[in-house]
Structure 1
């Protein structure tokens, strides 16, 4: 009987140690080092960001829109971007993804280049606000990711945009 109790105790301790190690490993996976704090999430919401599959994304009406075949950020949008960037940085958010997009007018290659120039224009404003170039992921998607109907003028205008995304890994 004593052997049985000793063997059972040993089994239970081994099982408990394994479960503890597994719990710690899973806890480490569930809480990445750059998980956003509740205060940072509040700042994002206050700035017009919403949680999407990609991360926290700046959405209508606050996203950066462009005129037809344009890649310059207007003075009004520069002011809005500067305010937003300073607020994000003061909340400790220092890494962003900047995704450029176009409407469906034009060739695939031209729109790819235009979307990248749009994203780079927004990134330049963010860099001027103190974001580190190494923490800005700048991408151009051309006309491949429309958010509105390209058959209408209003839809095409919505698709000529740059989205700013705070990714959550």
Structure 2
């Protein structure tokens, strides 16, 4: 039986973050898969930063075709190791009105989540999205499924 782990994915336009498994550790296969994509670990939390300029055109929420392919491929590989849940938080640059940037960042997070669900072959409901606009990324927090959501 494949154990399922919760991996929050944080996006600055796309910063992906993995949290600890309920048992406190990812499997060696999961760690190897995350490392192969450039994830780094800090205090049991795994993250990957992707620039919004790589993923999206200026003021657009639609993923560039090559970015969409990279996300679906990565999601598929991570899901094959049992990582089937993600959290994506969108960010934007510091230009423009707050309300515009907040809406754009949520649309971007949703675009990445849609590609992730497609690649991982998981229900879209496994993916949580938030748009944080031009707010600076806060440090990722570790959270297990069912645990209270912390600020971040």
TM, length-normalised to structure 2: 0.68
SS in 2 for 1:77: helix
For the pair 1:50 / 2:40, whether they are aligned, the reply is yes
Is contact 1:100–1:119 with CA below 8 Å preserved after alignment? yes
SS in 2 for 1:44: helix
TM, length-normalised to structure 1: 0.62
For the pair 1:139 / 2:130, whether they are aligned, the reply is yes
Which protein has the bigger strand share? 2
Per-residue deviation, residues 120-141 of structure 1 (Å, max 9, x unmatched): 0111111212122232111111
Shift in Å, 1:58: 1.7
Q: Which has the larger radius of gyration?
A: 1
Computed over aligned residues only, the root mean square deviation of the Cα atoms, in angstroms, reads: 3.1
Aligned length: 123
Q: Gaps (5+ residues) in structure 1?
A: 1-29, 148-164
Q: Larger deviation: 107-116 or 53-62?
A: 53-62
Per-residue deviation, residues 93-140 of structure 1 (Å, max 9, x unmatched): 111111111001111111100000000011111121212223211111
Q: Gaps (5+ residues) in structure 2?
A: 1-19, 145-152
Per-residue deviation, residues 17-62 of structure 1 (Å, max 9, x unmatched): xxxxxxxxxxxxx972474212211110111211246932222579
Taking structure 1 as reference, are residues 57 and 66 closer, same or farther at Cα in structure 2, changes over 3 Å only? Answer: same
Which protein has the bigger helix share? 1
